[in-house]
Amino acid sequence: MAFKEPKSEKHYYSIGEVAGKFGLAPSTLRFWEKEFDTIKPFKNKKGDRFYTQEDIDHLSLINHLVKERGMTLKGAKTKIKENKTETENTFEIVQKLQMIKSYLLEIKDEL
Would residue 5 count as lying in a domain? no
Would residue 3 count as lying in a domain? no
Full domain range(s) for residue 104:
13-110
Question: In the sheet where 49-51 sits, what is the strand order?
Answer: 13-14, 49-51, 42-43
Predicted confidence pLDDT, tens digits, the chain (111 residues): 445 555 557 788 999 999 999 999 999 999 999 988 888 999 999 989 999 999 998 898 899 888 888 989 898 888 888 877 777 777 788 788 888 888 899 888 888
Would residue 6 count as lying in a domain? no
The CATH number given to whatever domain includes residue 27 is 1.10.1660.10
Would residue 100 count as lying in a domain? yes
Would residue 1 count as lying in a domain? no
Look at the alpha carbons of 15, 17, 21, 24 in this order and tell me if their dihedral is positive or negative. Answer: positive
d(CA 88, CA 15): 23
Q: Quick check: 32 and 59 in contact, CB under 8 A?
A: yes
The reported pTM is 0.71
